[in-house]
């Protein structure tokens, strides 16, 4: 390969033939955005281009006055020497894989994605390509998500049990994406749904974008002293253990995250419950997606990239690690560490990536 | 299996003892006696001997899941628990079943042990194929003998007492010693009229809490009895129906380890139960615990070892006298009975005594307790006397059950402490799986750091995360699961004892090491040297007056039941 169609630079993934950046981590002239999570969509670039269904959330995230243009899924756009298009990634509302083509050579930057159905966004769609850039957040065979219906039955069962014990149910989930996905599966006959402000702000954007979320109300809109026994409260993980939470007592807290698959990680949190659910691929999905793209080159980024690369090579594929600043899924609701942005990710266990080779420079 | 798994999950998910007790008592009130017996068996830490070799479990899992060795190893590394790793890696089950726990154990699990390899594997595969991930986790833990869940025997006792209405002390007594997990046992536990006839049955041990408050808070010193805290094996010696039984605090029957005690106890009257500490004892003084340890480790007791490491029972309490349970009598009365029983000349049938105190039965001497200052002063002699400190027991207290605050306190001398540098790290297990929490510390010797102590965390969750983060970013090398870490972080390590040891690279072994605190203020150059440690052995260096020594140091992995005399 004389020069790769897409390269990593200190500003992010760059395609020189199109003079475009994909999910840049510093301000650039022209940014193509896979989805609105903060490690992919950063503020400050001149012009943004994203998938049409994701325009609302992106605007909400990086500013109403920003220059944002959007394309319907599948529609192509010629930019300098390349043709780009957006294809559903199944991660959150409006999330996209970005296809970049130059003279018959096709690269796909998948951003974050999952194959499991999600009522808040379009199903992931395989895009044939020569080079596929994939994440590997849950790149270990221990990660295998349960069926969505089983998961929601578990969550609703927990809610019902808490209600019978006179407790409120505090479900901690990403404010953008997971909160809405879970809300869609809640059994509203059990009780009312209240939200943390960070979640409700995005609920509004989702509703404006046409997602039929069940009714929910901001917790802060209730008078002081409101009792929450039997209610479901959805909040970002960073709200956990803060004074905000006290008004919910007696409360049962649960964290909805793929990391909850592992008992040790679940038990380290002083939470009552952990629901293993993620908007990222589990191990079987990663392998299936890679196979469906029919790509001859696989570049693996954030997550267990060294493990996935080694496994793909054993399967006879041409795989390599690609170092980026994307972050995957936050492992823990860190008690008491309230951050400004609920999406700010303090990540554990993803830096396992680049160094499986034994000696690391001090 | 479904009910048992549900119980396990509830207990596993909560840290509140009230919820655990509630879950158990609900379970016990609805389960069959056969299931109940096995449930108690497992909840109280009893195990089936390994049924299937671990290597075979791994191999079978790898084949079923189509995984290479390294991918299995990576998965295990991330999970930190073999039974769980296997449960997560197996392909989803195609069937389901709800066979009661006792049937699983008696008809499926125990028979596995004597099966041919191929049959064993095919059974395993079919069993896994009818269980959910949570059920598989429980099953694998039963198979590997690694089933542990966050309840103490005391809590199980409490739940059973709640279900049956029988008082806790009776239930606790019935749960002691050796029993078979049969329906009759379960029914007997809850039966108000059961005549407990087993001659070997010990009483539950009463355990002391470490003294954290000032002694003045204990009130009038005249209401307390003080004695040395001996460093041996806490034991109960039972003489009933012409037989002797010796139980360790870990509820192991250790009678045959101590023939000299069996011999001496022949002269005790039937219906006697003594509580005390078995010590290696020679020429009128206690020998280091390590000596006793080497003796316990021997499979056969040779004449030489019996000569080299003779033992004595340092008796400090009597629980049964003339066949009566006297645990409700006040402490000072019990001690008087004990003193009369073992007084010189009392054991007249004992030919070796000739009017002397029996050499293998000693009574732990009482210290005069006229003022707290006096006791504080006496306590400073502990190391010289080779004891761990003092025990304080309320003179009018009955003999309790389990670890209770209030009447018995252990008042140990301040531990030794050194400053050492973190040099290796390994991931923890169980609750700490996936975090680097098992540390090795080094001290200086000729410009190099030599490892002297391994300690699991004594740090809080936030510090654990910070150290974990440091380790990941400052790994120099990896050897299997062990990372060599850039030497930089200094910790104060507390420990109870220190000895020469040719088996250790540093030539030194420390006892019960744990992290007292993170010395963020200290550069690694100022950590201690091996010479300082060697001097501690010789007693040349005065103990550092560590201001953290009396703080409650958290160390949850230090439960060395046999070594911890109370």
Domain ranges of chain B: 2-144, 206-412, 416-538
A359 in a structural domain = no
**Per-residue pLDDT tens over the stretch B91-100:** 999 999 999 9
Residue A29 within a domain: yes
CA-CA distance, B375 to B378, in Å (whole number)? 5
- CB under 8 Å to A207, separation ≥6 — which residues? A213
**Nearest-by-CA chain A residue for B433:** A264
**Token pair for B513:** 């090491």
Chain B residues close to A308, C-beta within 8 Å: none
**Is pLDDT at A350 greater than 70 in this prediction?**
no
Give CB contacts under 8 A, 24+ apart, made by B381-384: B382/B228, B382/B229, B382/B412, B382/B413, B383/B413, B383/B539
Q: Tell me what pLDDT residue B173 has.
A: 78
pLDDT at residue B430, rounded to an integer: 64
Are A302 and A136 spatial neighbours (Cβ–Cβ below 8 Å)? yes
The C-alpha atoms of residue A118 and residue A181 are separated, in whole angstroms, by: 6
Query: Lowest-pLDDT range, A340-349, B307-316, B387-396, B462-471?
Result: A340-349
Collapsed DSSP state (helix, strand, coil) of residue B140:
helix
What is the arithmetic mean of pLDDT over B170-177? Answer: 80
CB contact under 8 A, A264 and B433: yes
Chain A residues with CB under 8 Å of B87 CB are none
> What is the predicted pLDDT for the residue at A125?
97
Q: Tokens for B200, please give them.
A: 């070997």
Average pLDDT of chain A to the nearest whole number: 88
Strands (E), chain A: 7-9, 12-15, 20-22, 30-32, 47-51, 67-71, 76-79, 82-88, 96-102, 105-109, 131-136, 168-172, 193-195, 217-218, 232-235, 251-256, 273-275, 297-303, 318-321
Report pLDDT for A41. Answer: 94
Q: What is the mean pLDDT of residues A117-145?
A: 96
Both structure tokens of A194: 């209240």
Does residue A261 lie within any of the structural domains?
Answer: yes
The pLDDT assigned to B393 comes to 94
How close A361 gets to chain B, by Cα (Å)?
7
Q: What is the least distance, in Å, from the CA of A64 to any CA of chain B? A: 37
As a whole number, mean pLDDT of residues A321-329 equals: 77
Give domain status of residue A327, yes or no.
no
Q: What is the mean pLDDT of residues B332-337?
A: 94
In percent, the amount of chain B with pLDDT more than 90 equals 44
Closest CA to B238 of B186, B300, B176: B176
Is the Cβ of A140 closer than 8 Å to some Cβ of chain B?
yes
Query: Cis peptide before A250, with omega less than 30 degrees from 0?
Result: yes
At B216-266, the pLDDT tens digits run 888 888 899 999 999 889 999 999 988 899 988 877 778 888 998 998 888
Query: Do the Cβ atoms of A144 and B88 come within 8 Å?
Result: yes
Q: What is the pLDDT of residues B104-135, one digit of tens each?
A: 999 999 999 999 999 999 999 999 999 999 99
- Domain B2-144 CATH assignment equals 1.10.3260.10: yes
- CB within 8 Å: A349 and B474: no
* CA distances in angstroms from B452 to B475, B498, B506, listed in the order given: 20, 11, 6
Inside any domain, residue A213: yes
Within the 251-310 window of chain A, which residues sit less than 8 Å (CB to CB) from chain B?
A: 261-268, 270, 272-273, 304, 307, 310
Among A4-13, A148-157, B454-463, the minimum mean pLDDT is found in: B454-463
pLDDT band at A358 (very low <50, low <70, confident <90, very high): very low
Name residues whose C-beta falls within 8 Å of residue A299's C-beta, 6 or more positions apart in sequence. A131, A132, A133, A134, A319, A320, A321, A322
Instruction: Identify the pLDDT of residue A330.
Output: 61
Mean pLDDT of B173-189: 87
Residue in chain B nearest A334 by alpha carbon: B462
Q: How many CB atoms lie within 10 A of CB A36?
A: 26
Task: Pick the residue of A262, A264, A349 with the most B CBs within 10 A to test the interface with B by mutation.
Answer: A264
Is residue B79 within 8 angstroms of chain A, CB to CB? Answer: yes
Q: Give me the numbers of helices (H) and strands (E) for chain B, helices first please.
A: 20, 23
Cα gap A191→A35, rounded to integer Å: 32
Count of structural domains within chain A: 2
Do the domain assignments include residue A262?
yes
Tell me whether B307 touches chain A (CB under 8 Å): no
CA B25 to chain centroid: 25
Residues of B in contact with A158 (CB under 8 A): none
Least confident of A143-147, A203-207, B474-478: B474-478
Residue A326 lies in a domain: no
Identify whether the C-beta of residue B149 lies closer than 8 Å to the C-beta of residue B11.
yes
| Per-residue confidence (pLDDT) for residue A357, from 0 to 100 | 27
Q: State yes or no: pLDDT of A361 exceeds 50.
A: no
- Output B88 or B543, whichever has higher pLDDT: B88
Is A37 in the same domain as A99? yes
Within 8 A of B434 by CB-CB distance, chain A residues are 262, 264-265, 348-349
- Determine, for residues A142 and B79 on separate chains, whether the beta-carbon distance falls below 8 Å: yes
Q: Please tell me which of B189-193, B360-364, B394-398 the model is most confident about, judged by mean pLDDT.
A: B394-398
Confidence of residue A103 (pLDDT cuts 50, 70, 90): very high
Fold of B416-538: OB fold (Dihydrolipoamide Acetyltransferase, E2P) (2.40.50)
Question: Using CB atoms within 10 A of its CB, is residue A66 exposed (0-12), middle (13-18) or buried (19+)?
Answer: middle
Question: Does pLDDT of A303 surpass 90?
Answer: no
Q: Are residues A218 and A343 in the same domain?
A: yes
- Give the phi and the psi of residue A302 in degrees, each rounded to 5: -25, 125
pLDDT at B525 (0 to 100): 87
Shortest alpha-carbon distance between residue A311 and chain B (Å): 8
Q: Note whether A348 contacts B89, CB cutoff 8 Å.
A: no
Q: Contact A181/A203 with Cβ under 8 angstroms?
A: no
Give the per-residue pLDDT at B479: 77
Mean pLDDT of B383-396: 88
CATH number of the domain where residue A311 is located: 3.60.15.10
Range of lowest pLDDT (B129-138, B511-520, B531-540) = B531-540
Between B324 and B555, name the one with better pLDDT.
Answer: B324
Confidence bin at A339 (pLDDT 50/70/90): very low
Contact predicate B243/B285, CB 8 Å: no
**pLDDT higher than 80, residue A360:** no
Distance from CA of B89 to the nearest CA of A (A): 5
Q: Based on the domain organization, do A340 and A191 belong to the same domain?
A: yes
Taking a C-beta distance cutoff of 8 angstroms, is the pair B337, B318 a contact? yes
- pLDDT by residue (tens digit) across B52-62? 999 999 999 99
Nearest CB to B78 within list A140, A314, A360: A140
Q: Which residue has the higher pLDDT, B156 or B551?
A: B156
Range of the domain at A256: 148-277+334-348
Q: Which residues of B touch A141 (CB under 8 A)?
A: 65, 67, 71, 75, 88-89
Q: Which two tokens stand for residue A118?
A: 């999600």
Around B379, how many Cα atoms within 13 Å sit in the side-chain half-sphere? 21
Pairwise CA distance, residues B455 & B555, whole Å: 9
Asked if A257 and A330 count as a contact pair (C-beta separation under 8 A), the reply is: yes
How sure is the predictor about B557, in pLDDT bands with cuts at 50, 70 and 90? very low
Q: What is the CA radius of gyration of chain A?
A: 20
Same domain, A102 and A29: yes
For residue A2, tell me if it sits in a domain.
Answer: no
Distance CA B495, CA B493 (A): 7
Which of A262, A270, A307 is the closest to B434 by Cβ?
A: A262
A interface mutation test: which of B13, B64, B438, B486 has the most A CBs within 10 A? B13
The candidate with the shortest Cα–Cα distance to B482, out of B451, B506, B503, B461, is B451
Q: Does domain B206-412 have CATH number 1.10.10.60?
A: no
Residues B458-479: what's their mean pLDDT?
Answer: 85
pLDDT for A131 beyond 60 = yes
Round to whole Å and give the CA distance between A2 and B27: 68
Q: Which two three-digit tokens encode residue B472?
A: 């990941």
Nearest to B226 by CA among B106, B438, B374: B374
What confidence tens digit (pLDDT) does each residue in A63-76 have? Answer: 888 999 999 999 99
CA distance B486 to A111: 35
- Cα diameter, chain A: 67
Phi, psi of B521 (to 5 degrees): -75, -10
Q: How many helices (H) and strands (E) does chain A have?
A: 7, 19
Q: Tell me: pLDDT of B194 over 60.
A: no
C-beta atoms of A262 and B84 within 8 A:
yes
The average pLDDT across A239-251 equals 88
CATH of the domain at A231: 3.40.50
Angstroms from B417 CA to nearest CA on chain A = 29
Give the helix ranges, DSSP H, for B246-353.
259-265, 289-297, 303-308, 331-342
Cβ neighbours of residue B174 closer than 8 Å, sequence gap 6 or more: B188, B189, B194, B196, B201
Nearest to B331 by CA among B379, B366, B360: B366
pLDDT at A348 over 90: no
Model confidence pLDDT, tens digit, residues A163-194: 999 999 999 999 999 999 999 999 999 999 99
Strand A105-109 and strand A96-102: pairing?
antiparallel
**pLDDT surpasses 60 at A228:** yes
Residues A110 and A243 in one domain: no
Q: Which of A82, A70, A5 is nearest to A33 (CA)?
A: A70
Is the per-residue pLDDT at B508 higher than 90?
no
- Say how far apart CA B238 and CA B320 lie, in whole Å: 9
Tokens of B45: 């830490």
Q: Indicate if the pLDDT at residue B560 is higher than 60.
A: no
A200 and A344 fall within a common domain: yes
Judged by a CB distance cut-off of 8 A, whether residue A46 touches chain B is no
- The region of weakest confidence among A222-226, B325-329, B535-539 is B535-539
Residue B73's nearest CA partner among B482, B484, B481 is B481
C-alpha to C-alpha distance for B394 and B400, rounded to whole angstroms: 12
Q: Give residue-wise pLDDT tens across range A138-148.
A: 999 999 999 99
A142 vs B: CB within 8 A: yes
Give the contacts of A159 (CB within 8 A, at least 6 positions apart).
Answer: A169, A186, A187, A190, A191, A232
**Segment 18-77 of chain B within 8 Å of chain A by CB:** 65, 67-68, 70-71, 74-75
């Amino acid at each position: 390969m004389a020069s790769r169609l897409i390269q990593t630079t200190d500003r992010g993934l760059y395609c020189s033939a199109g003079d475009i950046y994909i999910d840049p981590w510093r301000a650039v002239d022209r940014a193509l955005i896979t989805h609105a999570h903060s490690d992919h969509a950063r503020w400050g670039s001149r012009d943004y281009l994203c998938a049409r269904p994701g325009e609302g959330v992106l605007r909400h995230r990086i500013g109403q006055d920003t220059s944002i243009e959007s394309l319907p899924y599948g529609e192509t756009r010629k930019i300098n020497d390349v043709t780009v298009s957006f294809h559903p990634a199944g991660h959150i509302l409006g999330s996209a894989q970005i296809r970049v083509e130059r003279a018959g050579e096709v690269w796909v930057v998948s951003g974050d994605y999952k194959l499991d159905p999600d009522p808040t966004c379009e199903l992931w769609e395989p895009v044939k390509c020569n080079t596929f850039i994939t994440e590997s957040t849950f790149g270990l065979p221990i990660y295998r998500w349960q069926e969505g219906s089983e998961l929601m039955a578990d969550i609703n069962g927990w809610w019902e049990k808490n209600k019978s014990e006179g407790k409120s149910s505090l479900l901690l989930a990403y404010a953008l994406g997971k909160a809405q996905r879970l809300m869609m599966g809640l059994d509203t006959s059990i009780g009312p749904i209240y939200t943390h402000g960070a979640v409700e702000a995005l609920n509004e954007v989702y509703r404006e974008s046409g997602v039929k979320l069940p009714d929910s109300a901001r917790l802060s809109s209730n008078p002081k002293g409101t009792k929450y026994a039997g209610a479901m409260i959805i909040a970002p993980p960073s709200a956990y253990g803060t004074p905000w939470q006290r008004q919910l007592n007696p409360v049962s807290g649960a964290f909805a995250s793929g990391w909850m698959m592992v008992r040790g990680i679940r038990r380290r949190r002083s939470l009552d419950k952990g629901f293993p659910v993620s908007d990222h691929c589990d191990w079987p999905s990663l392998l299936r997606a890679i196979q469906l793209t029919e790509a001859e080159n696989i570049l693996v980024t954030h997550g267990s990239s060294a493990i996935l690369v080694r496994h793909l090579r054993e399967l006879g594929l041409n795989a390599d690690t690609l170092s980026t600043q994307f972050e995957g899924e936050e492992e823990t609701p860190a008690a008491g560490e309230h951050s400004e942005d609920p999406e700010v990710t303090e990540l554990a266990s993803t830096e396992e990536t680049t160094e499986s080779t034994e000696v690391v420079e001090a | 299996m479904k009910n048992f798994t549900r119980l396990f999950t509830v207990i596993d998910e909560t840290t509140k003892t009230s919820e655990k007790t509630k879950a158990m008592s609900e379970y016990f009130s609805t389960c069959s006696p056969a299931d109940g017996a096995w449930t108690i068996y497992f909840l109280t830490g009893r195990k089936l001997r390994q049924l299937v070799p671990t290597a075979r479990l791994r191999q079978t899992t790898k084949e079923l899941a189509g995984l290479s060795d390294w991918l299995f190893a990576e998965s295990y590394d991330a999970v930190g628990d073999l039974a769980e790793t296997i449960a997560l890696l197996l392909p989803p089950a195609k069937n389901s079943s709800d066979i009661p726990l006792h049937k699983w154990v008696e008809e499926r699990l125990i028979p596995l042990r004597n099966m041919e390899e191929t049959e064993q594997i095919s059974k395993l595969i079919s069993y896994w194929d009818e269980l959910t991930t949570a059920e598989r986790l429980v099953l694998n833990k039963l198979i590997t003998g690694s089933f542990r869940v966050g309840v103490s025997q005391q809590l199980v006792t409490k739940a059973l007492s709640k279900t049956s209405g029988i008082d806790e002390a009776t239930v606790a007594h019935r749960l002691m010693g050796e029993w078979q997990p049969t329906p009759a046992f379960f029914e007997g536990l809850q039966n108000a009229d059961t005549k407990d006839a087993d001659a070997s049955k010990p009483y539950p041990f009463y355990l002391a809490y470490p003294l954290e408050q000032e002694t003045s808070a204990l009130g009038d010193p005249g209401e307390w009895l003080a004695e040395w805290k001996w460093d041996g094996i806490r034991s109960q010696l039972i003489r009933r129906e012409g037989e002797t039984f010796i139980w360790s605090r870990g509820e192991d029957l250790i009678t045959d380890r101590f023939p000299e005690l069996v011999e001496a106890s022949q002269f005790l009257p039937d219906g006697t139960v003594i509580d005390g500490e078995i010590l290696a004892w020679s020429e009128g003084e206690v020998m280091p615990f390590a000596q006793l340890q080497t003796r316990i480790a021997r499979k056969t007791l040779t004449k030489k070892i019996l000569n080299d490491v003779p033992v004595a029972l340092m008796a400090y309490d009597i629980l049964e006298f003339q066949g009566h349970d006297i645990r409700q009598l006040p402490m000072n009365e019990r001690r008087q009975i004990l003193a009369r029983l073992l007084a010189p000349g009392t054991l007249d049938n004992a030919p070796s005594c000739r009017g002397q105190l029996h050499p293998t039965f000693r009574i732990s001497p009482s210290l005069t307790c006229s003022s707290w200052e006096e006791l504080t002063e006496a306590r400073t002699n502990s190391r010289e006397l080779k004891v761990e400190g003092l025990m304080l027991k309320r003179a009018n207290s009955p003999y309790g059950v389990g670890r209770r605050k209030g009447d018995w306190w252990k008042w140990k001398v301040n531990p030794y402490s050194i400053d050492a540098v973190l040099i290796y790290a390994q991931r923890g297990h169980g609750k700490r799986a996936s975090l680097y929490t098992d540390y090795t510390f080094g001290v200086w010797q000729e410009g190099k750091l030599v490892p002297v102590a391994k300690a699991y965390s004594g740090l809080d969750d936030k510090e654990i995360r910070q150290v974990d983060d440091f380790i990941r970013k400052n790994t120099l090398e990896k050897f299997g699961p062990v990372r060599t870490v850039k030497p930089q972080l200094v910790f104060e390590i507390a420990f109870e004892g220190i000895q020469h040891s040719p088996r250790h690279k540093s030539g030194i072994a420390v006892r019960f090491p744990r992290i007292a605190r993170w010395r963020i203020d200290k550069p690694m150059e100022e950590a201690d040297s091996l010479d300082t440690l060697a001097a501690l052995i010789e007693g040349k260096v005065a103990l550092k007056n560590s201001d953290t020594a009396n703080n409650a140091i958290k160390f949850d992995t230090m439960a060395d039941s046999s070594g911890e005399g109370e």
